[in-house]
Amino acid sequence: MTPLSTSPLWALFLREWRVARRIGGSGAMGVVFFLTFVTLVPFAIGADPNLLARIGPAILWIAALMASLLSFDRLFQADAEDGSLDLLHLGSSPLELVVLVKCLAHWAASGLPLILAAPFLGLMLQQEPIALGGVVATLLAGTPALTLIGGIGAAATVTVRRGGLLMALLVLPLTIPILIFGVSAAQAASGGSVPFLSPFLILCAMTLAAFALCPFAIAAALRYLGE
């Protein structure tokens, strides 16, 4: 067993992280999109504090979903174009672990900033502190699953030029269960008839299932399309 600091997968994580930060890209851009989206909502539905407080968690969740959707399309395409994807096959690590590490690095670089920004944007939507906590907890539990599901879409469209729209069409229906339980847990945090834990634990279970299943789907898609 090689120590973590020299292991191939850690090297891959660091490279993905560096590329994401260096291009100044997905992380900051996602947060700005998130901000813009949330700012638009009161303009569209009116600045009624009670209404905003009620639908705030749902808006934050949809905004986070859209913002993360924006960043998926280059997840594997950039590697396919510059030849890295072929070389990633030649390492000693199985492709399933390679794509899992890529997804985790992508989540750390573009999903985590969204979660950190969410409480501040929640204040604009009249959220109580307990509701902010609920939104952050559900995003933390749910966005890794969004990234992994998005990875399937990114892998399936890796050879399609301008595949972003096609990828969104593939990915969005698959994210519906995550959205349902994420939003209901976030709303349950600020009161309601449903206890917080029941939808939250289902959300956690779906994320764990995504961790277990999505890497195989992503690797299978990349192998098939690599031919």
Partner 1 sequence: MNISLPTPSNAPEGGALPLRLCVDGVSVQRAGRRIIDNIGFKLVEGEALVVTGRNGAGKSTLLRALAGLLPIGQGAIRLNSGPLEVELAQNAHYLAHADGMKLALSVEENLHFWAHYLADAPHPRSQSIPQALSLAGLTHALHAPFGALSAGQKRRAALARLLVVHRPLWLLDEPMTALDQASRIRFAQAMRAHCAEGGLIVVATHEPLGFETTRELAL
Residues 123, 132 contacting (CB under 8 angstroms): yes
State which of residues 39, 40, 49, 82 lies at the interface with partner 1 (CB under 8 A). 82
Tokens representing 61 are 């969740």
Using rule CB under 8 A, residue 96 touches partner 1: no
State which of residues 32, 36, 45, 84 lies at the interface with partner 1 (CB under 8 A). 84
Least distance CB 34 / partner 1 (angstroms): 23
Alpha-carbon gap, residue 17 to 13, rounded angstroms: 6
Cα angle at 196 between 35 and 44, to 5 degrees? Answer: 30
User: Which residues have a Cβ under 8 Å from the Cβ of 3 and sit 6 or more positions away?
Assistant: none
Using rule CB under 8 A, residue 12 touches partner 1: yes
Which residue stretch of 88-96, 159-167, 170-178, 193-201 sits at the interface with partner 1 (rule: CB under 8 A)? 88-96
User: Which residues have a Cβ under 8 Å from the Cβ of 116 and sit 6 or more positions away?
Assistant: none
Which residue stretch of 89-97, 124-132, 133-141, 151-159 sits at the interface with partner 1 (rule: CB under 8 A)? 89-97
Applying CB under 8 A, the residues found at the interface with partner 1 are 2, 6-8, 10-12, 14-15, 18-19, 22-23, 81-84, 86-92, 226-227
